A and B are shown apart, each in its own frame.
Chain A
Amino acid sequence: MRIKIMLFVTGIAGLLATSPAFAQGAGGAAGGGATNWVAITSGFAMAIASAVCGLAQGKAASAACEGVARNPGARPGIQLFLILAFIFIESLALYTLAIVFLKVK
């Protein structure tokens, strides 16, 4: 059942994604303008990167909270590793941002 729903949603998404392209193609032939696909895809790239980095940081933060709640004495060490983990997770999203920033005109 779930697979069917997923297939349906994917199909709808595919249809939705293609129809503006056709419309744009017709409009482009008439008006001479082209879609800036780089801007559109960079928006999605940034959204995906931010979403997954948010999930990862949430997981790291929850694990750190659990660790501190069980053993408050271990706070300094856990804090250091939490900050380091945040830095490394966050920099992955920032690489996407850097590429977006360099590519979108």
Chain B
Amino acid sequence: MPNEQELWLTALMNKFPADPAHPIPNYMAYELLVFLIIVVGALILRSRLSVENPGVFQQAMESVLEFTQGMADEMIGHDGRRYVSMIGTFGLFVALSNLLGLIPTFATPTAAIQVTLGCAMVAFVYYNYHGLRHHGMVGYLKHLCGPMLAIAVLMFPIEVFSNLFRMLSLSVRLWANMLVGDILEGIFTGLIPIFVPALFMALHIFVSVLQAYVFMILPAVYISMAVAEEH
């Protein structure tokens, strides 16, 4: 497992520890690196925005934005643009975290359950907040009770449980996928050190992008369920 030894960035951060008894783990250091990459990238992009001659970076990011907007329109429909920022942030963070592990001496932050559980909890709080904002307290509880009042006693616990279970399913899905990618790569590097690991790295890139897509589409589905109007 790559998370066991301390990598160079973590070692650098642990030079200035707040508490030497509890050093910063690898996933935390590389999560912060992803955060810095996104913030610096956004600042650079913002300083260079232009309508007349958009640069390569701006055009690439515009296509990402269009993709996210298309997804929001498709999944949430009316008023979907409101959630584009959050869905896009999930996508960017998860995609960059997944792909970071492919660079030598870098760890995959999403191969740690703590990171993915954090993302899933943010998604959970976010869609429940928007459900509450859209329906109001009573309306959201009624929304959880299902369409018929007669089976509300049955529906309410099921709905609450399935909502809580979404946190587990979101986090475990991403974590297990990334962990398996890392382990497979490690095992096949041990078996045949040349050429074969490249195939598994290619597979890992594919899975990384797919899981980022999944982590965009599932919060979008959950938001659309939380803010859905009953007709």
A98 to B179, CA, bound (A): 10
Asked if A26 lies at the interface with its beta carbon under 8 angstroms from chain B, I say no
| Secondary structure of the A contact surface, majority rule | helix
From A83, A84, A94, A101, give the contact of B177 (CB < 8 A).
A94
Asked if A8 lies at the interface with its beta carbon under 8 angstroms from chain B, I say no
A84 to B213, CA, bound (A): 11
Interface 0/1 of A68-105, CB less than 8 Å to B: 00000000000010011001001100110110010000
Range of interface residues on A (Cβ < 8 Å): 10 to 19
A91 & B169 in contact (Cβ 8 Å cutoff)? yes
Asked if B218 lies at the interface with its beta carbon under 8 angstroms from chain A, I say yes
Name B176's closest neighbour in chain A (CB-CB): A94
A90 to B213, CA, bound (A): 15
A97 to B179, CA, bound (A): 10
From A87, A95, A101, give the contact of B214 (CB < 8 A).
A87
B175: A residues at CB distance < 8 A: 98
Contact of A91 with B217 at beta-carbon distance under 8 Å, contacts A97-B180, A101-B179 already known: no
A-binding residues in B (CB < 8 A): 74, 169, 172-173, 175-177, 179-180, 213-214, 217-218, 221
- Sort A-B residue pairs by CB-CB distance and give the 8 closest, nearest first: A94-B176, A91-B173, A98-B172, A97-B176, A87-B214, A98-B176, A91-B169, A94-B173
* Given contact pairs A90-B173, A101-B176, a sample of 7 additional A-B residue pairs in the complex whose CB atoms are under 8 Å apart: A80-B74, A84-B217, A87-B173, A94-B176, A98-B172, A98-B176, A101-B179
